[in-house]
Amino acid sequence: MPEVADIFRARGPAWRRTVHLSLGQLKVMSAIEQCRSAALGGHVLRCSGCARTEIAYNSCLMGSSV
């Protein structure tokens, strides 16, 4: 099942051209789109048992005071 961020990333740019959003709404939408994506960086996880690697992208809440 897609997450809200997936939908925003896929359809957000086109949708924003058809509606008027406040600056606050645009900021929230942008933060959701960037959350857990390469835009915020990430780190590599590596299993010490099988050496499988996986990229884990940072959350939009990492480092915030929330």
Q: Digits of tens for pLDDT over the chain (66 positions)?
A: 888 999 999 999 999 999 999 999 999 999 999 888 888 889 999 999 999 999 998 887 644 544
Q: How many CA atoms lie within 13 A of 16 on its CB side?
A: 17
Give the pLDDT confidence score for residue 54 in this predicted structure.
94
Contact 35, 62 (CB under 8 A): no
Residue 9 has what pLDDT? 94
Domain boundaries, the chain: 4-57
